[in-house]
Chains A and B, each alone.
Chain A
């Protein structure tokens, strides 16, 4: 079974930058679309970004567009979220998640435990 593990979360000042990573164990990472989903303390799930497998196209929530950048390195089984101009409202637990197929709109069937980002 594929397992995902995020890292890179930290306490950062407003306006700062942070780079989150997600590493997968298992072979299906390179054949599925990937996403980042976050959950602020006491709030619900919020989609952040996705990256297509086939086209490499990237997609972003309006709240992070222009500040965050998602990329993947299939040779390293790794997904990255580069975050700039961080705001207090970006404080959340960030999960990486794998779609059930190459299609970035398909169900997110594998989730990592998350890494905490605190902007303060």
Chain B
């Protein structure tokens, strides 16, 4: 099995841009798609990025995803931060027999 490592927390001001990283411990980051989920307290998680860089309908284009093979990592970038973006964010990927979530990153917008 592999692990996905995210920073525990990040914070930024409204209107700014923040990037959350997700590093895969083993196996090629490009070998399986990476998804990103937003999880607000009291609500169920929702996908904000799928297949590395695709946005589900209804997700604003302020959200973008990418992968970087040299660092074996994925990134979620949120631009034009709004207070409503404050939430926990999880990356997720898989291998041939399992699904793995990152530990989650708490985004504070202040």
Contacts and interface: CB of A to CB of B under 8 A. Distances in A.
Interface of A: 35, 37, 44-47, 50, 59, 61-62, 95, 100, 104-109, 111-114
B100 interface: yes
Contact of B56 (A62, A95, A109, A114): A109
Contacts of B98: 47, 59, 61-62
B44 A113 contact: yes
Interface in B1-33: 1, 32-33
B1 A45 contact: no
B103 A44 contact: yes
A45 B33 contact: no
A44 B99 contact: no
Given A35-B99, A44-B88, A111-B45, 8 more contacts: A44-B103, A45-B92, A50-B99, A104-B99, A106-B50, A108-B45, A108-B47, A109-B47
A44 B2 CA distance: 16
B53 interface: no
Given A35-B99, A109-B56, A45 B45 contact: yes
Contacts of B94: 105
A81 to B, nearest CB: 15
A35 B35 CA distance: 15
A82 B103 CA distance: 26
Contacts of A108: 35, 37, 45, 47, 92
27 contacts: A37-B101, A44-B101, A45-B37, A45-B45, A45-B90, A45-B101, A45-B104, A46-B101, A47-B92, A47-B98, A47-B101, A59-B97, A59-B99, A62-B98, A105-B32, A105-B33, A105-B94, A105-B99, A107-B33, A107-B35, A107-B47, A107-B50, A107-B92, A108-B35, A112-B44, A113-B44, A114-B44
B1 A62 contact: yes
Contacts of B77: none
A106 B45 CA distance: 15
Contacts of A112: 44
Contacts of B101: 37, 44-47
